[in-house]
């Protein structure tokens, strides 16, 4: 049986994953309005990934005989300065999520909850990927600068992302 303390912390993280999903979806809406369909597509896939992260944690709590307690989801920003600002905000957000996952991992160790430990190892690895892919996009945006052709090429590349990437 999962401890109350760990259950509360995972419930908090479920809320964080749902917030991240909304944040990415709001970012996707912004990119769609800027005619950057490739960026929007990439961000919508991020939205789906965040939902799956929330559900992984949701299922873990119920599988362990715990109780999921959903909380209200904070409203994400609607307006952004530019697509570069979107991606930088996404990276900052992922860094914050990484810190939260690390704290959860530590808590699982303190509580000697080995199955939570195994689950959270997956999230630790996932955060490395999340930060890496956003850093790469930000680097490419910086290389492109004000070159519209470069931006369209990058948009096309992001638009080709498949659901398994």
CB of 76 to ligand FEO, least distance (A): 13
Residue 87 has a CB neighbour count (10 Å cut-off) of 24
Q: Which 5-64 residues touch ligand FEO, going by CB under 6 A? A: 17, 20, 50, 53
Closest CA to 46 of 120, 112, 134: 134
Q: CA-to-CA distance for 118 and 48, rounded, in angstroms?
A: 23
CB of 130 to ligand FEO, least distance (A): 4
Burial class (CB within 10 angstroms; exposed 0-12, middle 13-18, buried 19+) of 123: buried
Q: CA-to-CA distance for 117 and 6, rounded, in angstroms?
A: 11
Judged by CB, which is closer to ligand FEO: 133, or 144?
133
CB of 50 to ligand FEO, least distance (A): 5
* 97 scored as a contact of ligand FEO (CB under 6 A): yes
Q: Which residue is nearest to ligand FEO (CB)?
A: 53
- Interface contacts to ligand FEO, rule CB under 6 A: 17, 20, 50, 53, 94, 97, 130
């Amino acid at each position: 049986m999962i401890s109350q303390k760990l259950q509360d912390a995972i419930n908090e993280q479920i809320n964080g994953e749902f917030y991240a999903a909304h944040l990415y979806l709001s970012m996707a809406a912004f990119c769609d309005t800027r005619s950057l369909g490739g960026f929007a597509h990439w961000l919508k896939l991020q939205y789906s990934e965040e939902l799956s992260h929330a559900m992984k944690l949701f299922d873990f709590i119920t599988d362990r005989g715990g109780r999921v307690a959903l909380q209200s989801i904070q409203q994400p920003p609607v307006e952004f300065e530019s697509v570069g600002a979107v991606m930088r905000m996404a990276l900052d957000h992922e860094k914050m999520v990484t810190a939260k996952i690390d704290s959860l991992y530590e808590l699982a160790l303190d509580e000697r909850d080995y199955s939570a430990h195994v689950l959270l190892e997956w999230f630790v690895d996932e955060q490395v990927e999340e930060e890496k892919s956003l850093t790469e996009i930000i680097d490419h945006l910086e290389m492109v600068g004000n070159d519209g052709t470069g931006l369209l090429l990058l948009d096309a590349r992001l638009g080709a992302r498949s659901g398994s990437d």
